[in-house]
Structure 1
Amino acid sequence: MGKKKKSFQLFSTIKAFRFLHIAIYILLCGIMFFAMYSNVKPKELNIDPFQPSKETIRSPLTIEDKESTKRKQDEAAKEVEDVYTLKKEYADNRVDLISSIFDLIVETNDEAEEIYNSTKKEWEKLSEEDRKNAPEKLTSSEKLRMLEPKLPADLTDRIPVSVFTALLEATPDQLSRAEDAIITAVNNIMKTRIPASEVQNAKKKIEEELRYTSVDTSLKNPIKELGQFAVIQNEYYDVDLTEEERQQAIDAVEPVKILQGQIIVKEGQLVSRDMIKQLKLVGLLNSDNSVQPFTGLMIIILLMMAAIIYYFQSEVPTDRNRNFYLLLFAIIFSITIVLMKMISLFQQIDYSEIGYIVPVAMGALLVKLLINEKVAIISSMIFAICGSIIFNEGVTGTLNFSIGVYFLFGSLAGILFLSKHNRRGKILQAGLFVSLINIALILSIMLLKNGNYSSLDFGSSVIMAVASGIIASVLTIGLLPFFEGGFGILSTIKLIELSNPNHPLLRKILTEAPGTYHHSVMVANLSESASEAIGENGLLARVASYYHDIGKTKRPHFFIENQMNIENPHDNIAPQLSKTIIVSHATDGAEVLRKYKMPKEIVDIAEQHHGTTLLKFFYHKAKQQSDREILESDFRYPGPKAQTKVATVIGIADSVEAAVRSMSNPTPQKIEALVNNIISDRLQDGQFDECDITLKELDIIAKALCESLNGIFHSRIEYPAEATKQKVKEA
């Protein structure tokens, strides 16, 4: 007994340690890190260049081979030929130039003719003696001098003078035919592409084309010279267009990627230099980046720990010891992670799907039952992430998404099942439900992979899915009492022990206050059914009801259920004293229960079941007997008000049972009206303000109480006296 007391004190000291939560968070980080360390540690490859590989090596990730991509882009750019642009406007420009030259020739001839005619008219006006020397037409040289100022300087430099002289000497008809011929030839030649290397050939072509025209013989050579002058290069290298096409060719090149799961080296294959380069690229030979996976692991662990810290700070009420529940969570979490890691070691037998048998739902179920649902849900997510890393053997990449989804949905299935069936006896059924969801998930995963699976593969996976759910429920049932006992949590076994009629306190009630004992049993029956109706612990309600009036054993005869064939002592004392005696049974009961080291839940219910309700009978009696003002607060129970739903149910059942027992002829209608009135009065009096019970749950409690009371106080057939005697005789 002494050792047990010392260990309890040590445990209490540990729970009250100021920095315990920090130590637990660090411990959880360490457990997760070491559990997943080997799964993210870069694999050391025994690779020798130009030697056969001892194993098949796959890429752990998808990554772009930028060097190969660049090489392909350069090759694509080189294949693009230089782009040359045809300057179509050059043909029109050269034709316009030839036309302008001929126009200037015609203009010069016309001016020369005008000068001649003007001189001739002047000559005709002279006397016969003065008209001895008749005027002559301008010579070609004179016309040429007139033409040269009109022509551009570069034109006269590049075209022989003889060409202009011949054109100036030609008749208008000859000039017209020559112009048409040369313009046609220049236009035809200049419409084709003439690169720099083909200019001379183009000049020869125009010479050939002009050779057979119907131009006067004297003009063929001049127009040939003029045509060759007109033909120039019209195709030029386009830098911008060339670069644009090369960029398009580069953009069209698909990036060279090493895909996740792609075989880089086959077993027995000679390791080439390119293979070594690819292995380095995917990080399998890069020792410089060996710290990166561990850094990534620490980041994801810190993110998960942030979620745990947040949920414990927001979801665990301040009136509960956070260190207590955090320590409980840490143990459950550690057991689940260690169990995962131990089973993952069997992956070495080349069966990567062994993870399907892990009873990961066990951790989620225990957290749901011992802490709360929201923490259980976040735990499920963390188990899924850790599991996807721990069971990554045999899959490409660091995360095994299939096993992660399997763990997540299996755990959530168990939590959701217990949310609707919040009873300890439903744990095994929850395990079967988890098995069913596991089967559906495994079949879904296998079908999505579209692989060729044999019947044996399907069968073994389904067996593991079923085993996972059942083992999870069995482990939950087996571990639950240890956690409840070790952490002082009120367990089912403990409640059953406290419900034993041979318990000293129950024997005390039975012997010293038999009426109170009977009343407590009736309240136990009512509160159990009502608690279970709203999803609360019915066994806790029953056992707490047995002890809720233990304080009445101190002065049993002052309570009406124990006043059999005796005078009511309250008739002879002041109502203030009666109030003190009646009210004290709640605090007296709590003191007795604490003295016997009863669980805190039962002590709280004994103290809270009357809340701060008003002793109406003695309050009104005091008002009648006194002339001074009597305060309501002086005739109320000290409280506190009910803090839990079970305490609320027991308080209602306590009042209902006493009220119905005092009814002369209870009927279902009267019972229903009475129950509704008692609940309504307590609601209006604010007795439920400190409890998170809902109006819907109060309605369910009322219906459950009415059903139980109707079963207890059901009407019976009254037999005539003679018939009754005959029945007794026959019996």
Structure 2
Amino acid sequence: MFPKGGHFKYEFQKGKPWQYENYYAPFDFAIQKTKVEIEAEKKKLRENSKLYLEYDEGIAIAVKDNIQKRVNKVLNASDLDASEKENILTVVDGIVADVYEYGLFNVVNYHKIDKDIVTLKRGNMVQDIQPYKLFKTDNNLKYINSKIGVQPLTEVENTLLNILFEELKPNVELNEELTLKALEESLSAISLTKGLVAEKERIIFKGDIVEGEKLAVLESIKNEFESQVWSKSNYNWIVFGYILLVALAFLMLLLFLRKYRVEIFENNNKVTFIFFNILLVVFLTTLIVKFNAEFVYAVPIVILPLVLKAFFDARLGMFTHVLTVLLLGFIVPNSFEFLFLQIIAGIVTILTISELYKRANLFISVLQITIVYFVVYFAFSIIQEGNASNLDWAKFGYFALNGAATLFVIPLIYVFEILFSLVSDESLKELSNTNSKLLRELAEKAPGTFQHSLQVANLAEACANEVHANSMLVRTGALYHDIGKMANPMFFTENQSTSVNPHDELTPRDSGQIIINHIIDGVELAKKNRLPDRIIDFIRTHHGTSLVYYFYKKEEEIEGRAVDKKYFQYPGPIPFSKETAILMMCDSVEAASKSLKEPSAQVIDGLVEKVVNSQMENGQFMNADITFKELQTIKKVLKKKLKNIYHLRIEYPE
């Protein structure tokens, strides 16, 4: 997809000093005219191009014959003498001769004649004439009237007037095909060059300002280098060079993933997704450049960091965006301007869009990105041109088109979710709706568990916001973490509305197994309802490898000795992300708080410390990317929220 030509090794900008050593021509080359110069020549040619009119001799002959026959018939029926008839015939022949000397033109098409001189084609003969020499259909009657006689006209003269008016037909029309062909020949003959630079001739001194003739010569030699198609002698070397550069860029991305995003690096599907998006952007940009390089700024490249941020995080999105833009620098014209513009736009994209699932955020961010494009292009233009009078207003239109195309990111994210089995914040928003099928079913079958899940979701979301975790992800995971309890809702205390406890009829080991099975049942139910893997992770990890402590202790009391923990231990795995660790803490603390008889501030503080410290001591957070500072922050949030929930209310009078 990279250019199949050479590469000019120097970078330069209009209006900036030449920063390299004195530069001499390495070979003979022609100085190319600028687009402005070529367009000016084309405009001049269009203004001076010939307008061809086609003279139809057949119509003129036919009209003369018809008029002669009808006039002779009228004269033969009249009582005029021979001399009078001869005079009338002379007048009629003179009128016809005058009208068809240069031809009769239809006035409807007269507005198309915008030249002072037109070319009249009569068979194989052409002659240049002034347009006013043509007779027009709208002034025929007046001319005939002036030639026939003096008012009032006799009956014969009136008859002759009518015959001439009826029979005179237009025989000249525009020959658009010939006119266009002549113009195209003139345009194709325009020279694209305006001089020659000889080998070893000085082009520019170090420190000279790149403008005027120097700019034209530098642009010409740059184009000369880039137009040199790969040959058999240098093909392998150029391809090898490109391979090294691209491999280096991809290696940097893989090293970033390996060092800072291990869970992504070890997931082939996610790595494939990232590289697929890079190739997609490069491919789209290449197509646009090959079609028309002027449209390159209409390519919505900032969709790349948007998509990666939606599925992963802002840092990965920005890192990938920068590497991709560096690769595009080989493909696009004005690479420095392009790199600066797109990197700034990428930074603005990452900084402005915090929650993509909120449509207002996306529209506001796209507007800000478009404004940044405008400002950066305006700055580059006034630096290069020295004023604001030569702005290319078409580019502002391309930037607006770019912004409109960026809004396509929402349906694109949906497509990627299907193709790569990923989940974005937009999907999490839909899943967190309590009116969804599975959550409605949970509310009906296990209302106590549903209320518990809501409380845990609120606590987890508040904690996630404080430690800058994905609050939407952890809230959604909290709402679904206990859906496995729907299989046996009455075996869980929050759903027991009577004093009857089904565990009284079971052994502690059987009861413990039923409690543990809500993890397995939840995973199966989630897969059956096609919940994303990121949500299933919360179901699997929210108890980690902890014990069903109540029934474990009860079994010890019955046996009178230590029992094997494996019968009372959750299958795990332990939490492996900040979000899953937050859910484990919130779930345990919320459940434990229900057992408090007098939930004072001191008791709540002690409960939170006890539960979280116990999980830490049992190694439940060993695989989670969470710090001690974040754990302290989460504890503070949990204490504050629980105190708000269990605060004392005033007693209302009866």
Calculate the TM-score normalised by the size of structure 1: 0.55
Displacement after TM superposition at 1:388 (Å):
3.2
Which residue matches 1:587? 520
Q: Does residue 1:574 correspond to 2:507, yes or no?
A: yes
Q: Does residue 1:359 correspond to 2:296, yes or no?
A: no
Q: Does residue 1:513 correspond to 2:450, yes or no?
A: no
Q: Does residue 1:624 correspond to 2:557, yes or no?
A: yes
Question: Out of 250, 259, 265, which is 1:308 matched to?
Answer: 250
Q: Percent identity?
A: 27
User: Does the Cα contact within 8 Å between 1:428 and 1:473 map onto a contact in 2?
Assistant: no
User: Does the Cα contact within 8 Å between 2:348 and 2:369 map onto a contact in 1?
Assistant: yes
Task: Give distance in 2, aligned partners of 1:513 and 1:338.
Answer: 52
Matched letter for residue 497 of structure 2: M
Question: Out of 335, 340, 354, which is 1:400 matched to?
Answer: 335
Q: 1:57 to 1:701 in 2, by over 3 A?
A: farther
Q: Does residue 1:336 correspond to 2:281, yes or no?
A: yes
Matched letter for residue 348 of structure 2: A
Matched letter for residue 403 of structure 1: F
Q: Does residue 1:645 correspond to 2:590, yes or no?
A: no
- The structure whose Rg is larger is 1
- Which segment drifts farther, 287-296 or 526-535? 287-296
Task: Tell me the SS of whatever aligns to 2:262.
Answer: coil
Task: Give distance in 2, aligned partners of 1:438 and 1:335.
Answer: 22
Task: Give distance in 2, aligned partners of 1:674 and 1:265.
Answer: 75
Task: Give distance in 2, aligned partners of 1:282 and 1:431.
Answer: 38
Matched letter for residue 191 of structure 2: K
Q: 1:401 to 1:263 in 2, by over 3 A?
A: same
Q: Does residue 1:369 correspond to 2:302, yes or no?
A: no
Matched letter for residue 608 of structure 1: T
Report Cα offsets for 1:284-313 as digits up to 9, x if no partner. 898897965995465235422333245236
Displacement after TM superposition at 1:656 (Å):
1.9
Task: Give distance in 1, aligned partners of 2:212 and 2:226.
Answer: 13
User: Does the Cα contact within 8 Å between 1:381 and 1:408 map onto a contact in 2?
Assistant: yes
Which residue matches 1:187? none
User: Does the Cα contact within 8 Å between 2:357 and 2:426 map onto a contact in 1?
Assistant: no
Q: 1:711 to 1:294 in 2, by over 3 A?
A: farther
Task: Give distance in 2, aligned partners of 1:624 and 1:292.
Answer: 84
Alignment of structure 1 residues 39-438 onto 2, 5 Å: 54-56=191-193, 263=213, 295-296=237-238, 299-312=241-254, 315=257, 317=262, 322-344=267-289, 355-373=296-314, 375-392=316-333, 400-417=335-352, 421=354, 424-425=357-358, 426-435=361-370, 437-438=372-373
Q: 1:516 to 1:414 in 2, by over 3 A?
A: same
Q: 1:590 to 1:493 in 2, by over 3 A?
A: same
Report Cα offsets for 1:363-397 as digits up to 9, x if no partner. 122233334555534432333334434332xxxxx
Which residue matches 1:10? none
Task: Give distance in 2, aligned partners of 1:480 and 1:53.
Answer: 49
Q: 1:358 to 1:256 in 2, by over 3 A?
A: closer
Q: Does residue 1:452 correspond to 2:386, yes or no?
A: yes
Q: Runs of 5+ in structure 1 lacking a partner?
A: 1-31, 70-253, 268-274, 393-398, 722-731
Question: Out of 462, 473, 481, which is 1:529 matched to?
Answer: 462
Q: 1:361 to 1:709 in 2, by over 3 A?
A: same
User: Does the Cα contact within 8 Å between 1:65 and 1:255 map onto a contact in 2?
Assistant: no
Displacement after TM superposition at 1:511 (Å):
3.3
Task: Give distance in 2, aligned partners of 1:257 and 1:632.
Answer: 80
Q: 1:385 to 1:552 in 2, by over 3 A?
A: closer
Task: Give distance in 2, aligned partners of 1:280 and 1:619.
Answer: 79
Matched letter for residue 336 of structure 1: V
Task: Give distance in 1, aligned partners of 2:278 and 2:196.
Answer: 33
Task: Give distance in 1, aligned partners of 2:269 and 2:556.
Answer: 49
Which residue matches 2:139? none
Task: Give distance in 1, aligned partners of 2:504 and 2:477.
Answer: 31
Task: Tell me the SS of whatever aligns to 2:329.
Answer: helix
Task: Give distance in 1, aligned partners of 2:226 and 2:559.
Answer: 94
Which residue matches 1:167? none
Which residue matches 2:408? 475
Question: Out of 471, 483, 489, which is 1:556 matched to?
Answer: 489
User: Does the Cα contact within 8 Å between 1:39 and 1:390 map onto a contact in 2?
Assistant: no
Task: Give distance in 2, aligned partners of 1:460 and 1:280.
Answer: 25
Bigger fraction of residues in helix? 1
Report Cα offsets for 1:639-698 as digits up to 9, x if no partner. 110122222222222112212233234345543443343222222221111111223333
Task: Give distance in 1, aligned partners of 2:372 and 2:606.
Answer: 46
Report Cα offsets for 1:343-382 as digits up to 9, x if no partner. 446756xxx5x54444321112223333455553443233
Corresponding residue pairs, total: 473
User: Does the Cα contact within 8 Å between 1:59 and 1:259 map onto a contact in 2?
Assistant: no
Displacement after TM superposition at 1:508 (Å):
3.9
User: Does the Cα contact within 8 Å between 2:345 and 2:369 map onto a contact in 1?
Assistant: yes
Task: Give distance in 2, aligned partners of 1:669 and 1:309.
Answer: 54
User: Does the Cα contact within 8 Å between 1:304 and 1:382 map onto a contact in 2?
Assistant: no
Matched letter for residue 688 of structure 1: F
Task: Give distance in 2, aligned partners of 1:585 and 1:489.
Answer: 25
User: Does the Cα contact within 8 Å between 2:455 and 2:590 map onto a contact in 1?
Assistant: yes
Q: 1:56 to 1:673 in 2, by over 3 A?
A: farther
Task: Give distance in 2, aligned partners of 1:616 and 1:520.
Answer: 21
Task: Tell me the SS of whatever aligns to 1:453.
Answer: coil
Task: Give distance in 2, aligned partners of 1:702 and 1:457.
Answer: 58
Task: Give distance in 2, aligned partners of 1:329 and 1:675.
Answer: 40
Displacement after TM superposition at 1:457 (Å):
1.9
User: Does the Cα contact within 8 Å between 2:298 and 2:398 map onto a contact in 1?
Assistant: yes
User: Does the Cα contact within 8 Å between 1:59 and 1:263 map onto a contact in 2?
Assistant: no
Matched letter for residue 306 of structure 2: L
Displacement after TM superposition at 1:625 (Å):
3.0
Task: Give distance in 1, aligned partners of 2:223 and 2:390.
Answer: 39
User: Does the Cα contact within 8 Å between 1:544 and 1:606 map onto a contact in 2?
Assistant: yes
Displacement after TM superposition at 1:322 (Å):
4.2
Task: Give distance in 2, aligned partners of 1:286 and 1:319.
Answer: 42
User: Does the Cα contact within 8 Å between 1:58 and 1:261 map onto a contact in 2?
Assistant: no
Q: Runs of 5+ in structure 2 lacking a partner?
A: 10-27, 32-188
Task: Give distance in 1, aligned partners of 2:605 and 2:617.
Answer: 18
Which residue matches 2:77? none
Q: 1:295 to 1:288 in 2, by over 3 A?
A: closer
Displacement after TM superposition at 1:473 (Å):
4.5
Q: 1:614 to 1:455 in 2, by over 3 A?
A: farther
Task: Tell me the SS of whatever aligns to 1:390.
Answer: coil
Report the RMSD for the aligned CA atoms in angstroms: 4.5
Task: Give distance in 2, aligned partners of 1:695 and 1:40.
Answer: 53
Report Cα offsets for 1:55-86 as digits up to 9, x if no partner. 247999xxx965x69xxxxxxxxxxxxxxxxx
Task: Give distance in 1, aligned partners of 2:225 and 2:424.
Answer: 53
Question: Out of 592, 601, 612, which is 2:545 matched to?
Answer: 612
Q: Does residue 1:441 correspond to 2:376, yes or no?
A: yes
Which residue matches 2:619? 686
Task: Tell me the SS of whatever aligns to 1:457.
Answer: coil
Question: Out of 413, 417, 424, which is 1:484 matched to?
Answer: 417
User: Does the Cα contact within 8 Å between 1:427 and 1:477 map onto a contact in 2?
Assistant: no
Displacement after TM superposition at 1:609 (Å):
0.5
Displacement after TM superposition at 1:576 (Å):
2.7
Task: Give distance in 2, aligned partners of 1:587 and 1:380.
Answer: 40
